[in-house]
Structure 1
């Protein structure tokens, strides 16, 4: 990667994809917007793909890019699409940025993700990603255990591992990183192996 990451912005709304790409170009990134990727986009020309989590088949596209050694993917969305975010992270997305974040925060996440690459950082397992998403949704350890059908002690072990891998001092800090409120430079460490 050079100092100016190349970025593909993917959204089913052409206007949104083109607008985000234009904003990123103003911040010095080489960005292009795409609203239909079924016609065979050459992903080799990109360092990072920014994809709206609501894009049809987003998790499948993330999985194909990850399996082929393509560019790292960052998904953008809201907490209301919690399950879609988790599916994308489990499929191999390098990170998540909340749709409520600024374009500057997104650019910072892109730059760091491109710097680290899609395989950089200490990654969370699929289950740890699920636990982190539920922490970010405000669930207690007991509620997480019930939701996932696992023991409370197991949840505590997952929380400990998450805090250690993300180098977070608390559940709140880990949750803030997950939703993009802080620490976006760590997004590259949040995908499933």
Structure 2
């Protein structure tokens, strides 16, 4: 099995490569630090599985694009927090499996073998969540229509801030629109990014583009209309 590792942490990548080198029939072809290098590597090699470090936060939009562009590759989330919403979100993005943060090094090769064989080893809670997500998809209720099953709930104010982030407004502009202090805006922005597992404002714009129902546009417009 040919594997490519994506992680921004060189030490982690080298450690994973050394660990996997002891596994029969597994070979790490390359360790890359970003999606651009990953795509170049996939174009130039015969890769079977991509191990993607999610501990530092990644843009799932990039994962979706990767899964669509390379449908024959198994994408595995490395270091995933084993919570129902996180697992469902990764599955919707195109990951075919995950290695949880609690997985010991000596179990890594077995876990990768399970993923390559199409076996998903997870807790009963995760299994229940996946079945629930499939049920909602069958009913046509998915994505932003059911944020409680796919994203942590945002407060009304956080949704308003997210809406304005989607318009590329600065903290001062958001504060003016909502009649709150810049410090309060920074607090809400931090909470939004943390709840949605985003690394910055640019990712927030892309997340809102994928799921516009997350933001409370009507409430924001009402606030501005009063000014």
* TM-score (structure 2 length as normaliser): 0.45
Alignment of 1:89-168 (within 5 A): 89-116=91-118, 128-129=129-130, 131=132, 147-148=148-149
RMSD of aligned Cα (Å): 3.4
> Which residue of structure 2 aligns with residue 23 of structure 1?
19
1:42 aligns with 2:44: no
After superposition, the Cα gap between the structure-2 partners of 1:148 and 1:58, relative to the gap in structure 1 and judged at 3 Å, is: closer
Q: CA deviation at 1:25?
A: 0.9
Deviation per CA, 1:120-142, whole angstroms, max 9, x where unpaired? xxxxxxx953858xxxxxxxxxx
Structure 1 residue ranges without an equivalent (≥5): 118-126, 133-144, 150-193
Q: CA deviation at 1:35?
A: 1.7
Task: Report how many aligned residue pairs link the two structures.
Answer: 124
> Which residue of structure 2 aligns with residue 59 of structure 1?
60
> Which residue of structure 2 aligns with residue 76 of structure 1?
78
Which structure: larger Rg?
2
Deviation per CA, 1:48-77, whole angstroms, max 9, x where unpaired? 111112355352333123212141111022
After superposition, the Cα gap between the structure-2 partners of 1:146 and 1:78, relative to the gap in structure 1 and judged at 3 Å, is: closer
Structure 2 residue ranges without an equivalent (≥5): 120-127, 134-145, 151-227
